[in-house]
C-alpha cells in the first residue's frame, strides 16, 4: 500500500518523503498562490482557479483571499458557500461542507494529526480523519475544527472555539474545547 492509500484510509502515513504526495501539494500550493495574488476585483478568475483546486463545488460560492489547502481534491463545498479571509483547510482526508455554510475570518479545518508517541511522530508520520460540516452552519471567526469532527445541520460555532468532538444538529456551541451551550428550538 502506498502512502496516499494509507492517507485516504486514515492510517499512519509519511507525507514528507512521498514524491507523489509532495508533488500534489506543490501543485495545489501553486494554484492557491495564484488565487491569492489574483486582483480582488477579478472574482470570476478567482472562481476559475478555485474550480481547479477544489474537488467538488456546487453553484454559488465565494471564498475571500487568502485561502490555503494541501491537496484540494478532498474538499467539497455545497451551494451558497461563503468564507471570509484567511481560510486554511488541511485536507489530507475529506472535508465536506453542506449548503448555506458561512465561515468568518481566520478559520482552520485540520484533518491532519500527528501521533502522540514520540518515536512515530519523529519519523514524520501523520494520520488524517475526515471533517463534515452540515447544511445551514455558521462558523464564527478564529475557529479551529480538528480531525474527525462532524458539525450537524443548523448549528452555530462561536468565535474562537476549538472543535474537538462532534457537534449535534441545531446547536449553538462555543469554547475551548467547544461545547454545546444551547439547542435551537429550546
Pairwise CA distance, residues 61 & 79, whole Å: 6
- With cell 488524517, the residue in question is 128
Is 85 part of the annotated catalytic residue set? no
- By CB atoms closer than 10 A (0-12, 13-18, 19+), residue 164 is middle
**Which are the contacts of 33, defined by CB distance < 8 A and separation ≥ 6?**
none
CA atoms within 13 A on the CB side of 174: 9
**174: number of Cβ within 10 Å:** 18
Which one is catalytic: 26, 114, 165, 182? 114
CB burial of residue 59 (10 Å; 0-12, 13-18, 19+): exposed
Positions marked active-site: 114
Amino acid at each position: 500500500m502506498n502512502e496516499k492509500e494509507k492517507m485516504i484510509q486514515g492510517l499512519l502515513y509519511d507525507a514528507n518523503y512521498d514524491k507523489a504526495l509532495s508533488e500534489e501539494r506543490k501543485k495545489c500550493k501553486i494554484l492557491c498562490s495564484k488565487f491569492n495574488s489574483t486582483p480582488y476585483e477579478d472574482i470570476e478568475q478567482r472562481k476559475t482557479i478555485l474550480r481547479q483546486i477544489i474537488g467538488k463545488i456546487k453553484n454559488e460560492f465565494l471564498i475571500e483571499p487568502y485561502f490555503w489547502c494541501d491537496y484540494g481534491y478532498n474538499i467539497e463545498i455545497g451551494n451558497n458557500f461563503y468564507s471570509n479571509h484567511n481560510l486554511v483547510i488541511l485536507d489530507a482526508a475529506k472535508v465536506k461542507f453542506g449548503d448555506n455554510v458561512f465561515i468568518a475570518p481566520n478559520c482552520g479545518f485540520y484533518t491532519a494529526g500527528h501521533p502522540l508517541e514520540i518515536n512515530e511522530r519523529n519519523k514524520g508520520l501523520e494520520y488524517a480523519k475526515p471533517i463534515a460540516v452540515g447544511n445551514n452552519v455558521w462558523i464564527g471567526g478564529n475557529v479551529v475544527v480538528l480531525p474527525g469532527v462532524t458539525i450537524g445541520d443548523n448549528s452555530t460555532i462561536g468565535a474562537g472555539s476549538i472543535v474537538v468532538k462532534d457537534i449535534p444538529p441545531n446547536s449553538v456551541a462555543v469554547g475551548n474545547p467547544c461545547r454545546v451551550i444551547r439547542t435551537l428550538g429550546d
